[in-house]
Amino acid sequence: MAVALAAADTYVVVLALTDMMRGVGVGIESLQRATPIISGFLLGYVAVLPLVGRLSDLVDRRRVLLGCLAVFVVGSLVTALAVELPVLVGGRVVQGVGGGGLVPATLALVADLWPAGRRGVPLGVVGAVQELGSVLGPVLGAAVLVVADWRAIFWLGAVAGVLLAGAVVVTGGGGLNRPRVVPSSLGLAAAAAGGLALAAPAALATSVTLGLPFVPFGGATSRLATPIGIVAGVLTVLALAATMRGRWAVVRRVDLLGALLVGGALACVVLTFAAAEPEREVVGPLGYALLPVAALLAVLYLVHHRRTVTPLVPRGLVRGRLVRALATSLLVGVALVAVVVDVPLLARLVLTTDQTEAALVLVRFLVAVPVGALAGGWALRHLGPGLVAGAGLGLTTVGLAAMSTWGVGSLEQWTSTVVLAATGLGIGLALAPVNDAALAESSEDTHGAASALVVVARMVGMVVGLALLTAVGLHAYYEAVAALPDPTDTEALREAAVVQVSSVFRGAAVAAGLGAVVALTLGRAVRRVDGLVAHGAGVTGRE
C-alpha cells in the first residue's frame, strides 16, 4: 500500500499542475518554470535509491519503511502549504526521497519473508500495485479537484502516510524500538514551527504583537526567511542531530560519501534529460555541463569503491544474473516510457486536442500492466524468471512493432485496444521475474542494495530512453517535412507528426526485443530437489 501511495503521487500532479502553478504565483504562460514540480519528485526518487537500499540491509527494514513514510509525510505537508515555487519544488523533492525509498525496502522485505522459488506472487503484487498507482494517481487527483483545491491532494497524501506508518507498527510484530523522547520532541516542534511559518495564519501574521515572528528579514519575501522560519530550520537540524546520536557506526557502514557521489551522478542524469523539452531538444539547458559532472562523479565513485572498506554497492554484488537483470530492467524502462508518453501524443494528433481525453486512451495500456505483473508473479511458481520475462518482453516487442505501423485512423479501431492491452500485459509479465532474479543472485544482507539497483536501472531507462527515442522521432519528422511538396499543408504536417510517433514505437520495439533476449538468460524453470528450490543447476534457497 505504501508503494502504491508513492507511485500514485508520482502521477497525481498531471491534472493539477496548472492549479498548482497558480497557487504559487506562476502563470500558465510560464509553463517551463513548472517543470521542476515534476522533475523534482523524480530527482529525489532516483537519487536516494542506492542509499536507502543499502541502509535497509544494515538496519531493520521496517524502520526504513517508517523513516521513508515520515519523510514522505513531511514532503506532502510542505507541498500542501507552499505558496512559493521554490518551496513547492522542495516539497516535491522531499516527497520523492520518501517515496523512492519505499520500493527497495519493500522488495527486500519480500526476500526476507519468502524463500527463493516462492517469491513470485508477492513480487508480482508489489509490481502490480506500483503500476496500479500510475493509473489511480491521475484519477484520484481528478476526483479531489472536483470537490476541493489541489492542496487537498497532498493533505490526503500526508494522512495516508501517517495511517500506513501506523499499520507498519501494528502489523509488524515485535522488534521495533519505542520512539526516543528527545528526537521525537524536537521533530514535532520543528514540524509545528515549519507549519506555522509556511501557513502564516492571518490571525497571527497580521497581529501587531504576535505577527513579529512572521515578518521577513530585510527585503526578503519568502515565508521561510522569517524568525519563525529560522526557528523551524534550527529545530530541524537539532532533531536530525539527536536522531543520529549513537548511530554513527551505522552511518559509516552506509558509506555516505559513496551515496553522495552516486546520488549526485544520478541527479545530473535526471536533470539533464528530465528538464529537456522533447519537442525541441534531447539534452536539457544545463545538460552539456551536467553530463561531464555526472561522468566525473561516477569515476570518483569507482575510485572510492575500490578504496573504502564498506562501499555503498557491496563488492561482488554487481555480477552474473544481477547484471543481466539490470540490463533487462533498463530496457523495460525504455519500452514503458515510449508508450506512456507517445500514446497520448498520438491521440492528441489523430483523435482529440483535449489532453485529458488523450490521456484516457493510455488507460487501455496502464490497466493491463498490473494484471501482467500479477500473472508474471504467479507464473514464477511454475516457470523460471528467464522464460516469463522473455515471453513478456517478446509480447511487448510484437505490440510495439504493431504500434509502429499505426496511422491517422488506427486508434479508432478496436484492434488498437487489443494491441495496447497486450503491450501492457507483456511489460507487466517482466516485472516480478526481473526482481526475482536480482534477489536470487544477491545474499540476504544485500537484498536492499540489489533491489535499489533494479529500480534505478528502470528509472534511468525511462529518463534517458525518452530523450533518445524522441531524438529518433524528431529526425524522422524533419525528414518527412522536408519531403513535403507543400510545407504549409496542415494534414500533411499531421501525418509527418504521426511518422515521428511511429519511429519512437519502432525504436522502443528494438529495445523490448533486446530486453527479451537478455531476459531469457535470467534462469530456467524452477525445480525441486530433496526439499531444495533450484533454478536450473543452482540451488537458491530452502523450501
What are 278-287's contacts with CB under 8 Å, separation 24+? 278/341, 278/466, 278/467, 278/470, 279/474, 282/467, 282/468, 282/470, 282/471, 283/467
Enclosing domain of residue 230:
179-240
Q: Packing angle between helix 85-113 and helix 2-11, nearest 10 degrees?
A: 150
At 130, list the grid cell. Answer: 506500483
Assess whether 376 and 449 both reside in one domain.
yes
Pick the more confident residue, 299 or 495: 299
CA pair distance 33, 20, nearest whole angstrom? 12
CA pair distance 516, 328, nearest whole angstrom? 8
Assess whether 52 and 76 both reside in one domain.
yes
Q: Choose one of 177, 197, 218: the last residue of a domain.
A: 177
Pick the range with the lowest mean pLDDT from 15-19, 237-241, 328-332, 503-507.
15-19
- CA 450: distance to chain centroid? 16
CA pair distance 387, 238, nearest whole angstrom? 52
Confidence check: pLDDT of 356 > 80:
no
Assess whether 388 and 492 both reside in one domain.
yes
Q: Packing angle between helix 368-379 and helix 120-147, nearest 10 degrees?
A: 160
Residue 534 phi, psi dihedral angles, 5° rounding: -130, 150
CA pair distance 365, 381, nearest whole angstrom? 25
For residue range 91-103, list pLDDT tens digits in order.
988 998 888 888 8
Let me know if residue 185 belongs to a domain.
Answer: yes
Let me know if residue 432 belongs to a domain.
Answer: yes
Asked if 324 and 518 touch (Cβ cutoff 8 Å), the reply is yes
Enclosing H/E stretch for 527: strand 526-529
CA pair distance 82, 505, nearest whole angstrom? 39
Enclosing H/E stretch for 478: helix 447-482
For residue range 238-297, list pLDDT tens digits in order.
888 887 776 666 767 778 888 888 888 888 888 777 666 655 555 666 767 888 898 999
Assess whether 219 and 111 both reside in one domain.
no
Let me know if residue 314 belongs to a domain.
Answer: no
Assess whether 154 and 65 both reside in one domain.
yes
Assess whether 190 and 210 both reside in one domain.
yes
Asked if 114 and 134 touch (Cβ cutoff 8 Å), the reply is no
Assess whether 133 and 189 both reside in one domain.
no
Share of the chain above pLDDT 70, in %: 87
Average the pLDDT over 360-378 and give the result.
86
Confidence check: pLDDT of 525 > 80:
no
Mean predicted lDDT score pLDDT of the chain: 81
Average the pLDDT over 157-164 and give the result.
90
Q: Cβ–Cβ contacts within 10 Å for residue 15, how many? A: 22
CA pair distance 501, 400, nearest whole angstrom? 11
Asked if 267 and 463 touch (Cβ cutoff 8 Å), the reply is no
Q: What pLDDT is attached to residue 29?
A: 57
Domain count, the chain: 3
Asked if 401 and 509 touch (Cβ cutoff 8 Å), the reply is yes
Assess whether 92 and 184 both reside in one domain.
no
Assess whether 160 and 191 both reside in one domain.
no
Pick the range with the lowest mean pLDDT from 177-191, 353-367, 383-397, 432-446.
353-367
Assess whether 131 and 4 both reside in one domain.
yes
